[in-house]
A = this chain, B = another copy of it.
């Protein structure tokens, strides 16, 4: 158990700051005691996950979760708790029925989930399954006039061989050490890969339109995943006035593979299916949940420390790790602060975001509405007031460190703060690297220090992230407790600090 810190040259110059960083050790002790011995994470988890259900943006489940959060945060004594609209998102969508099974050459129930915002089938349908060979737009021609009522299957792209690596992983010492080295971009995509991905997506949209025009009955997509786990996705059907398309299911790859092998070997395959969905256009606005613990220091009270995570999820399961986990931790962190009776100097504001899964919409628009526009770099008055934003969105795994997002001056500060958690973190790792893909990016884009933590992946990449199996069972309760006390402490330290956290220079707009 030790705290590691990469002393790159630039950081050497700022290292002297560490000594100046005062941490209220009594407060940290109280936070630990409340978070570890009187935790509410299981109760919050039940309410967000099981009771609310899947929380697709603008769905009834999202509304249940948001209403619960507003009520619960208010009950804990937070102020100004509300659902705050951030602009137009689009249509709500509900899944009302999903059934699909093979009926020929023999009966077998199949595991599948409708794509989010997909249309209904024309009642219960049945018929022969075909695979189409469409790699580019020119291939449409050969199917013109031939697909009326067709049930079209699309092969999965991955492999489903036995896996000799565990589903659940913790970061190794070696992996953490690598994180401290400058990024080698191995997980980034090449421009060619990005172009290929965009071309596939564009083709997929055109294909759906083509198939709708041709009157196809259903598209069955083989997904990634294995053993009954499948990864869900969606077309962009949430956008108002999206033209109607063909109903689409995403299916366990084993079941699509079975149909593929049968058809390729000359065996006719028939299925029966029924997909029933409803759209809701009564309110196209998207909403975040916002609440505050008011600051108590007359001078510092207008300043803000923010913490958050996205409340929306995909629809195939109850989104336990993506990202109820982040919301559980953030709600528990403010509960801990309230329960300890600590009086933060600066105001603490929690934000549970909507529309993250469709492009970080809730957080980006919140930043734009309150702090500034990252495209024009026109900043608002409150831009100066935010000391930091802390985000959790990498599943249920405990915190192992933090990404500095290139802001080297905060490194020594965080090092000092982390030093109070040696018993809760192995090999604490502070990396200068950026991490992307979630809601701190909107803050970072306009120069407000926004941070995402390094977390153990557990089953995030193998089993839970965007899958039909992201359920309550996938939570590691001890890890949620650890995260909650660290977040509560970081937020409190940020609220009490003499200065706001150091910022990076603003980027210039061309």
**In the complex the two chains form, is A97's CB within 8 Å of B101's CB?**
yes
A476 surroundings in chain B (CB, below 8 A)? 161-162
B262 touches A51 (CB 8 A): yes
B472 near A261 with CB under 8 A, answer: yes
Among the stretches A102-110, A142-150, A364-372, the one at the interface with B is A102-110
Once the chains bind, are B51 and A471 in contact (CB under 8 Å)? no
- Tally of this chain's copies: 2
In the bound assembly, the distance between CA atoms of A165 and B167 in angstroms comes to 7
Q: Which residues of B contact A163 (CB under 8 A)?
A: 166-168, 459
Instruction: Collect the chain B residues with CB atoms within 8 Å of residue A109's CB.
Output: 95, 98-99, 112-113
Stretch at the interface among A5-13, A177-185, A225-233: A225-233
Q: Mark A249-279, 1 if CB is under 8 A from B, else 0.
A: 0001110011001100101000000000000
A400 CB–B CB distance under 8 Å: no
Cβ of B265 and Cβ of A106 under 8 Å apart? no
A474 on interface, CB distance cutoff 8 Å: yes
A164 located at the interface, meaning its Cβ lies under 8 Å from any Cβ of chain B in the complex: yes
| Chain B residue at minimum C-beta to C-beta distance from A264 | B46
Taking A227-B167, A252-B228 as contacts, is the C-beta distance between A472 and B53 under 8 angstroms? no
A230 contact set on B, CB distance < 8 A:
228
- Decide if A297 is an interface residue (CB 8 Å cutoff): no
Q: Is residue A61 within 8 Å, beta carbon to beta carbon, of the partner chain?
A: yes
Interfacial chain B residues near A164, Cβ < 8 Å: 166, 168-170
Q: In the complex, what distance in Å separates the CA atom of A98 from the CA atom of B165?
A: 33
Q: How far is the CA of A228 from the CA of B255 in the complex (A)?
A: 13
**Chain B residue nearest in CB terms to A259:** B50
> Is there a chain B Cβ closer than 8 Å to A458's Cβ?
yes
Q: Which residues of B contact A51 (CB under 8 A)?
A: 105, 262, 265, 267
Smallest CB gap from A272: residue in B: B97
Min Cβ gap A227→B in Å is 5
State whether A161 touches B473 (Cβ < 8 A).
yes
A473 x B257 contact (CB < 8 A): yes
- Starting from the known contacts A94-B107, A111-B228, A167-B227, 6 additional A-B residue pairs (CB-CB under 8 Å) come to A53-B106, A160-B473, A162-B167, A163-B459, A228-B252, A258-B472
